[in-house]
Each structure stands twice: as structure tokens, then as C-alpha cells.
Structure 1
């Protein structure tokens, strides 16, 4: 069959969008508004399609993003999204060819790494991606949360005020910028993200429900947190059975986080709260009078990471103590492999090629969880994912790469 892999021109957009919808099992309908929005934000150099006799049968897109790594530094990333292959054209290597083309272009651009949200676990490891952050979602039974006395005002002298979309667009970006300084795994949001999140931009392919917003201000008046949520309308036998679903809750202080969760759990007629995607070690359950009131609804891997420039990555993050390791990274794609000497400490790090014997040997995909602090070297070794040249190397790696909190990516992309 004559399959053509190429960048997507403007006239291809309706067909390309239909292939995206088909691949994600959504109704294969593309509205005029969706095409117009896509055309206005189209980057032909980073949008790929596979065409069979003029019809799009596979899709791939990437866009510029930056990722916060442990310590607060931000690295340029190739964010991969809208990856589909139509069911008529699977098992023909189409994704492999598109991925290889995109990753090589990203390395040439100078991106330190690539990221994606994996819909399915088994797919992306063969391209050098590994799970770098996880998530947990809780369902809170408000009656069991034991918020006694019921919420009135924050205990620390701050205040919570309802807000509208415009206020969130005004306050949110600066707050999120501060949030990103302290949350490794978080990724950049552009102006368009905030417009879509608050409903200033609405598309037929994404039905809109106007949410509630609330802002936490400290006693000094500083904005330290925002929560956005929707509430269903369900009653049984004249008793409320409503669920509040949190779309985002970002906070730069524990006090703001506590106040916003207590606020949401105290809204009249709300019986249950679904937390949305949260950090796997989130404070939430222990902010309640009874932590068992927060039942795990789901927990899984979330953002995956693919190293492209290992020395740059290792030099960017921070390390709690001084230490040295020789890492041998195996990369069958030839994009980032090699043997590297990491000399690291609280004052900074260097990472250079070396011929010294390796302390730890690992596939490039296993560097992702180790680098972000989501897994320890000892646990990865126990799983057989990495090999240690000497037993003490695992202790050194655990100490160097360990972080106080697990990384968290709050965004779908």
C-alpha cells in the first residue's frame, strides 16, 4: 500500500482531526469551529499524518513545553500528543516511524527530553519513554470526613472567595508559576490553556459546563491557592447525593491547600467529593478528621519521560548530598545513550562522558523515574530494571536522587 508520512498542511486539517477523533473512539465528526481553532493554532512542522490514498490514517503532534525537575529548574521538552493509528492500519510500524522522526527533530532543536501522557502502558517503553510521575484520585465521603466544627473561615486568618473565569485568568498564571517552582513534574501552561480551562474558548468537541472557582488569600492578602470544581444535581428521597468534582486545586502553601479542601468539603448539599488527579503522596487524606473518608478511586502512572540530553538533564536538577556515580545508559535508538560520570552535590553537578566502569547500568526508559525521584534505585534493582556494578552504588543512587516528595504532573496534554 502507498502510505505517505508527512507534515500536515492546512488543507489536511479536517481529515487529520477526523482521524484523531476516530483513533480515540470519539464520534468522527469535525465541526467548523474545531477546524477554525485548529487552523489558528496549527504548527505544520510539528504535526504529522500518515495518508493512504489521500485519507489520513494515523496522527502525531508535538508542541514546546518545559518541565520542572527536582530543585525547581525547568528544562525544554518535546510534548507528544494526539497519537493515533486508525484500526485499519495497525501493526505496520506507522507509530514507530512518526515517533522516530519527531524525537530526532526534538534532539536537533535542543530539547532536553520528551514527555507524554500514556493512554496505554505497554506502548511507549520501546521508544525510550518511562513513567516519571504517578497520580492518585480520591473519593471523599463528606459525612465521614469529620470536619468538626463545620468550615466557616480558614483557621490561619486567610480567606476564601468565590471567583469567576476572568479572575482565574488574571490570577491563575502567576500563582501557577510559583506553584511550578516547588512541584517537580509540573509542566508549562500557555495563555490558550487558561482560556480553554475557564471557558473563554469553547469547542463543540469538548462540551462545556460552567464550573465554580474559589481563591484562597493569606492573612496578608497574597493569593496562594485556587480551586475549580463542578457539582452534579442528584437527590434521592429528598436527600442530596451530589458529587463535587475538582478540576484543579493548586496551592503554594499547606495552609492554602488545607483551607481549599475544607472549603470544598463543606459546600452545602455536597455529599461526595472526587479530587481529580492528585500527587500520589498528596496531603489530602490527612487534612481530614478521618483520613479513611478519602477512598482511593484510582491510582496509576501518568506522565512519561524520554531523555534526549542526559548530561543536561543530570546537571539541571539538585542533589541533597555530595556523591559520584557512573551511569551507563542503554539507548537502542542512539539518541541519548552512553556512559556518564555524575559528580553531584548541593552546590551543583557535572555530568561528562567517561570510560570508567559503570556503577549502574540501565535502559534509557528507566532513567525517567530515577531522575524525577519517583522510584529508588534499590527498588528498580529489585525489580530487575537496572543493574548495579557494586552494591554500594544503589545506596549512593538512592541518596543522590531521593526527593522529599514524589513528582506530580497535574495536567493532561
Structure 2
């Protein structure tokens, strides 16, 4: 019998937060952290949903969850555990600490009646074995605004733009964001306090760029969009060579969005626009004259895990009628394993256990990837990760699971 000390998981107590958070920062190899960031993280931490892994008096692991609601296809805000702050000290790897924390977090989410868990993965290879699938993607770009032009829709010239203080304009901008939340799968309902995160502006992270700036779009006296961005002046042999870095842009209508994009393309002394973490169907890609000179890059973003298969599949709608029996494999959450009949359409759905013969076979990971409509079941089948057991079932389900708008998870946590 090993005499190696046992690592124990315990709920985080508020007075332990400083040491717990310090272990997290060290594990991620983070550079300087501002006091603003530290205090915001402290205020947002849900201690009753956070775990510390303790080796005696040493904290050697951290994890937690936020109580979120995420938009699913059909527009419903569904409770979801936002898994976060996961780390294991380099001295305690390969001892089952991460697995034990994942087990506790998912058991807790199930006990709270949350059908879903979501996370942003710093190391994507880790989370597939716990049933998380890559459900949303993001596009980044570096646009040569000196050579790329925009073709804007009718009505753009009628949009009024004005500079605004990012903090003072926050209520108006948050109203725009809140109006958009039901329209796109993956968006998170912003809980009180989280609005502070989008305007957090510590100087140590600006890398020589300006303080955060904000421009709002207005139509008929109402705010219909906003862009938050930074500028960094640069000079080369041929003159100005500055960079605009976009942080956020949301708009309620195409003209307002186009007006904001046109503004960003035309800021004096700037020749490049850096765009990060945008949805894969973002409008700018269809406004620009030359996509190649925008250097678009696609990468993974949000990961989804179905905590309760029946409740999760019944919580969303389907863009075509579907009636299919799914054989679900789920070793980590065995209560999900077995056959489920999903019947649904654009009005609603029912998903219940059944003894009928399965028609599609897949694991919880594939269900998570397809859940928000951004990953095709047919594409997963082409990789051998979904098996069709009834001819025609794959095509029917793949169309039904799709989404009119690409899912997007821009809300960091």
C-alpha cells in the first residue's frame, strides 16, 4: 500500500481565495496581473461551485463553475455550468486530480438540474475524454485596410456614429448585447457583474496601444450598435503603419454593423485592422473586396458537454422535423448511456429513453459538438465518429441539428 499523501478535494472557502487563485495564475504561466483583474475574478468566483485540490496544506489544483444560461437553437436560454479556472500543479500531474475535479463538477451540475456544461479549453486535447465536443468556432483576421475596401448595404449613410466613454456607454451597449442573445446559439446571458469584464482595461495588457475606445451607432436617436477597440500608432519607411485592434462589435441591423466596420477601416493613420474571436458567419467577410488580404484564420472556441441528454436535446428546437433513435455512449456520465428517441421540429422537441432499435450511434462528445448546430453530424460521420444504423437517418438528423446562424461563444470566462 502506497504511503504517498492523498490529494483531497474541498469546496473553496472565501478566505482561501488568494492562495487558490495564486496557484491558478502560476499553473497558467501568467505574466503580471493587475489589481483590477484580481478583484474582478474574486467578485465573480462562486465559491460554493469552486474546488481546491489539497495535498496537506498545499493547494495543488483548482477548478470551478459559473451559473450561466446559454442560448440554444430556437432561442431558449438553458442553464449551463461554465467550467472554469481548471489547473493542476506541475508537481501533481498524472495522479487523477483533474479527473476527480471533472467528476465533482459534472455531478454538481447534474444535481443543480443544469442540462449542459460549457468551457473554453486552453488545451483542447484534454477535454474530449470527459465528453466535451468542440461546438463553436471563431474567425480571426489581419485586414490590410489600405488595399481592402467595403461595399456597404443601403441605409448605412443614415447611421450616426459617435465616440463614447466605454464605461459610461456600458448600459446602452449591454442593451444591444442582451437583444442579440436570443438570436444566436452559444451566446451567454450576461449575469450581474459580468458587464465589468468587457470594459476591463489594465494598462499592463495594452502592449503600447491606446486605452479602450468605444464608438456607438444610432438610428432615430436609439443606440443600435457599438464597437470597442484600441489603436496603436506605427510608422514605416512609407509613412503611417498603425493598427486597430477590435475587441467587440455588435449591431442590431446590417446598416448599423456596416457603419461600424466602415469606421474601423477608415481611422486616420491606421493601415491594419486586427479582428479576433468573431463568429464564422460574421458580416465583414461579405462586405470586403478581397478576403485573401484579410488573412482569415479559423480555430476552435467553445466546448459543450451534455450533462443530461434527454433534457438537453429537448431544450432546443430543430430546423427540420426529426424522429430518430440515438444510441449514446457515455463512459464518464453513465446515466446518459443507452438509447434515446428524439422527436422534434422548429416548434419544440421531446427526448426520452426507448427500447426501440437505434438508428444513429455516437458518443457524448459528438453530441456536444453537434448540439449548438455548428458541427455537422454528417461531417462527424465522415470521420467515423457517428455511425448510421438506419439508411437515411444521418441525413435527416444532420439537417435537423443545424442552425441558421453559426453558434458563437465570445464571452470569456
Question: RMSD of aligned C-alpha atoms?
Answer: 2.3
What is the CA–CA distance in structure 1 between the aligned matches of 2:95 and 2:203, rounded to whole Å?
33
Q: What are structure 2's unaligned runs of at least 5 residues?
A: none
The 8 Å contact of residues 285 and 293 in structure 1, kept in 2 or not, is answered as no
Cα pair distance change 1:347/1:238, threshold 3 Å:
closer
- Contact 2:77-2:189 within 8 A present in 1 as well: no
In 2, Cα distance between equivalents of 1:18 and 1:146: 46
The offset of 1:196, in angstroms, is 3.3
Report if aligned partners of 1:326, 1:359 keep a CA contact under 8 Å in 2: yes
Pairwise CA distance, 1:44: 2.3
Q: Distance in 2 between matches of 1:120 and 1:130?
A: 13
The question of whether the paired residues in 1 share the 8 Å contact of 2:156 and 2:256 is answered with no
Partner in structure 2 of residue 306 of structure 1 = 305
**Worse-matched range after superposition: 134-143 or 3-12:** 3-12
Deviation at 1:281, TM superposition (A): 2.5
Contact 1:34 1:205 in 2 (8 A): no
Residue by residue, what CA displacement relative to the aligned partner does 1:275-330 show, whole Å, maximum 9, x if unpaired?
1111122221221233333111x321110001012222222222233231111111
Give, in angstroms, the shift of residue 46 of structure 1: 1.0
One of 67, 79, 82 as aligned partner of 1:79? 82
TM-aligned CA deviation for residue 191 of structure 1: 3.3
Of 44, 68, 73, which aligns to 1:65?
68
- 1:197-212 to structure 2, matched below 5 A, reads 197-199=198-200, 210-212=211-213
Partners of 1:42 and 1:294 in 2: CA distance? 38
**In structure 2, do the counterparts of structure 1 residues 72 and 51 end up closer, same or farther at CA, with 3 Å as the change threshold?**
same
Alignment match of 1:17 (pick from 13, 16, 21): 21
- Residue 267 of structure 1: aligned partner: 267
Bigger mean CA offset, 1-10 vs 373-382: 1-10
Q: For residue 288 of structure 1, what is the aligned residue in structure 2?
A: 288
| Distance change >3 Å, CA 226–CA 94, structure 1 → 2 | same
Aligned to 2:103: 100
Counterpart residue number, 1:317: 316
- Where does residue 409 of structure 1 map in the other structure? 409
Q: Deviations over 1:370-413 (max 9, x none)?
A: 22111222211110011111220011112211222321111221
> What TM-score do the two structures reach when normalised by structure 1?
0.92
State how 1:109-128 maps to structure 2 within 5 Å: 109-128=112-131
User: In structure 1, what is the Cα distance between the partners aligned to 2:315 and 2:182?
Assistant: 14
Q: 2:58 aligns with which of 55, 59, 68?
A: 55
Assess if the C-alpha contact under 8 Å between 1:77 and 1:114 holds in 2: yes
Structure 2 CA distance, aligned partners of 1:159 and 1:35? 37
| 30-39 or 104-113, which deviates more | 30-39
Compute the TM-score of the two structures, normalised by the length of structure 2: 0.92
Q: Deviations over 1:230-251 (max 9, x none)?
A: 0112112471111111011112
- Partner Cα distance (1:370, 1:277) in 2: 20
Q: CA, structure 1 residues 210+193, in 2 after alignment: closer, same or farther (shift >3 Å)?
A: farther
